[in-house]
């Protein structure tokens, strides 16, 4: 057992370990089926990650292969920290490592914690890599499709809505609840951070046919009367 694993286990909480499988849908037939939990909070995972920010890639890889959710989360937090402080060569290596291990980025919190500041950042800096998002969006793997959508958050933070709009167009009819939520979330952020008119224009083309979950997330910040009109199909 590594030092990181020992430090994580010292923060394990049996009550949370019993609750997390329900929260992260780890039961039979659910999207997180088979995932295992130690019962460690995200702040505690971040605390351990900060103490081991220089962990070698082999240790990070071992953590990513762990059956324990919080060990994978800690590995991804370390990856993000290393990406942020790395030079271009290190960032390229970590970006490639991340894409080679998406099978272990296998719940919504793992995706959302890591993809924006590795995949999103790297592709923003290297626009020739934009087709990677299309490849991820076409994947049969739920989590790769979510990576494609949520990674566009980095572009929104740079006031560039184009990639978010493209991914939303690509995934707007996806039938999985977690993709619908991601599409609606990124559209909402686009409207809030960049240009609400772009959101209104997108909705004009899609609100009558897009999944209700995506629509509800997208219009969350609208006033009650406007939200009601969209949901009733009269906007």
Helix (H, G, I), strand (E, B) or coil at 222: coil
Q: Does residue 235 surpass a pLDDT of 90?
A: no
52 and 82 assigned to the same domain:
yes
End-to-end CA distance of the chain: 58
pLDDT at 8: 98
DSSP H or E run through 99: helix 88-100
Report pLDDT for 170. Answer: 98
50 and 133 both lie in a single domain: no
Mean pLDDT, residues 133-148: 98
Same domain, yes or no: 234 and 121:
yes
Q: Do 235 and 129 belong to one domain?
A: yes
Q: What is the pLDDT of residue 1?
A: 84
pLDDT band at 167 (very low <50, low <70, confident <90, very high): very high
Task: Please state, in angstroms and rounded to a whole number, the distance separating the CA atoms of residues 38 and 8.
Answer: 8
Looking at 90, 109, 128, the residue that finishes a domain is 109
Instruction: Tell me the pLDDT of the chain averaged across its residues.
Output: 97
Its domain, for residue 27, covers 1-109
Q: Are residues 226 and 127 in the same domain?
A: yes
Q: Which residue has the higher pLDDT, 233 or 75?
A: 75
Pair 96, 127 in one domain: no
Among 10, 9, 62, 66, smallest CA distance to 34 is for 66
Q: What is the dihedral of CA 211, 214, 218, 224, to 10 degrees?
A: 60
CA 22-5-144 angle, to 5 degrees, is 55
Q: Considering its fold, how many domains does the chain have in total? A: 2
Question: Can you give the pTM of this predicted structure?
Answer: 0.96
pLDDT digits (tens, 9 = 90+) for 178-216: 999 999 999 999 999 999 999 999 999 999 999 999 999
Model confidence at 150, pLDDT cuts 50, 70, 90, reads: very high
Please give the pLDDT value at position 89. 98
Same structural domain for residues 121 and 64? no
Same domain, 33 and 83: yes
Question: What CATH number should be reported for the domain holding residue 32?
Answer: 1.25.10.90
Alpha-carbon distance of 5 to 182, in angstroms, equals 31
The stretch 40-56 carries a mean pLDDT of 98
């Amino acid at each position: 057992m590594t030092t990181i694993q020992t430090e994580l286990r010292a923060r394990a909480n049996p009550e949370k370990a019993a609750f997390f499988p329900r929260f992260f849908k780890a039961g039979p037939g659910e999207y997180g089926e088979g995932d295992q939990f130690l019962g460690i909070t995200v702040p505690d995972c971040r605390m351990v990650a900060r103490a081991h920010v220089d962990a070698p890639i082999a240790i990070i890889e071992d953590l990513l292969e762990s059956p324990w959710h919080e060990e994978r989360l800690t590995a991804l937090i370390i990856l993000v920290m290393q990406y942020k402080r790395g030079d271009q060569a290190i960032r390229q290596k970590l970006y490639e490592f991340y894409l080679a291990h998406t099978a272990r980025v296998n719940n919504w919190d793992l995706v959302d914690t890591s993809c924006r500041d590795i995949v999103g950042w790297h592709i923003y800096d290297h626009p020739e890599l934009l087709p990677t998002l299309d490849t991820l969006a076409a994947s049969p793997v739920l989590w790769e499709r979510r990576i494609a959508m949520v990674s566009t958050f980095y572009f929104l933070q740079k006031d560039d809505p184009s990639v978010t709009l493209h991914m939303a167009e690509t995934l707007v009819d996806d039938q999985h609840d977690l993709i619908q939520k991601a599409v609606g979330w990124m559209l909402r952020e686009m409207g809030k951070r960049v240009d609400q008119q772009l959101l209104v224009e997108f909705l004009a083309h899609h609100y009558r046919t897009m999944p209700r979950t995506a629509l509800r997330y997208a219009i969350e910040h609208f006033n009650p009367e406007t939200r009601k009109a969209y949901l009733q199909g009269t906007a």
